[in-house]
A and B are shown apart, each in its own frame.
Chain A
Amino acid sequence: DGGITQSPKYLFRKEGQNVTLSCEQNLNHDAMYWYRQDPGQGLRLIYYSQIVNDFQKGDIAEGYSVSREKKESFPLTVTSAQKNPTAFYLCASSPPHGVGETQYFGPGTRLLVL
């Protein structure tokens, strides 16, 4: 059963804490993406990676970090520098040679601040 998974579904962050959101795909996709969605808004790109061990900043990368050590995995860390982290976070991937092509989305992680 192929797909893209995100965990956890809900995540609570305390003041000054770093938290990591997981994104895994078994679709053999080269490219992976992280988006942030605020209520009633569209998606904004945080980071993306077109190949293992390489990633680029999106439009709102400040306060976030990523790694791409494996093709299947693209974890996102929300650092304490991100002052307004409450949002819905979506991970996506796209197939080989799929730059700018269809993206496949995970179910999302909702991050809340305690």
Chain B
Amino acid sequence: SQQGEEDPQALSIQEGENATMNCSYKTSINNLQWYRQNSGRGLVHLILIRSNEREKHSGRLRVTLDTSKKSSSLLITASRAADTASYFCATDATGNTGKLIFGQGTTLQVKP
């Protein structure tokens, strides 16, 4: 069952630019998380936003959540070549205790 869908599938920007990726989901959630995956590696947790929160910041990351539209966005400001990776949203659906459902991911390339 696919809960999260991400947009765009791929994004290519120059170093220093901002990168925005979006995630839409279908059901009510307890929280939404963003993860990063470098090629051929495991996922690394970036940020978690709960259903009663609208915005959260962590360093150069800014996440927003709009539960009325069932969508979230991840903004990476002042991107660096090291930010090149795939980014996934994951939702903890209400009543779906114990499971996260991952989106297909956005592949970000930051050119030096």
Which residues in A have some Cβ–Cβ distance to B below 8 Å?
A: 31, 35, 40-45, 48, 50, 56, 58-59, 88, 90, 92, 99-108, 110
Interface of chain B residues 35 through 88 with chain A (CB within 8 A): 35, 40-45, 48, 88
| Docked-complex contact A41 and B100, CB < 8 angstroms | no
Within 8 A of A (CB), among B83-111: 88, 90, 92, 96-105
Apart from A42-B102, A100-B31, A108-B41, 6 more pairs, CB < 8 Å: A40-B104, A43-B43, A88-B40, A90-B43, A100-B92, A108-B40
A48 and B98 within 8 A (CB): yes
> Chain B residues in contact with chain A, CB under 8 A?
1-2, 4, 30-31, 33, 35, 40-45, 48, 88, 90, 92, 96-105
Name the B residues within 8 Å of A92 (CB-CB): 43
**Complex: A59 Cα to B96 Cα, angstroms:** 12
User: Can you name 22 A-B residue pairings with CB atoms under 8 Å?
Assistant: A42-B88, A42-B102, A42-B105, A43-B43, A43-B88, A45-B101, A48-B98, A50-B98, A56-B98, A59-B1, A100-B30, A100-B31, A100-B92, A100-B97, A100-B98, A101-B48, A101-B92, A102-B48, A103-B45, A103-B100, A107-B42, A108-B42
Count of A-B contacts judged by CB separation below 8 Å: 61
- Tell me if B99 and A105 are in contact (CB < 8 A): no
Report which residue of B44, B100, B103, B105 has the largest number of chain A beta carbons within 10 angstroms of its beta carbon. Answer: B100
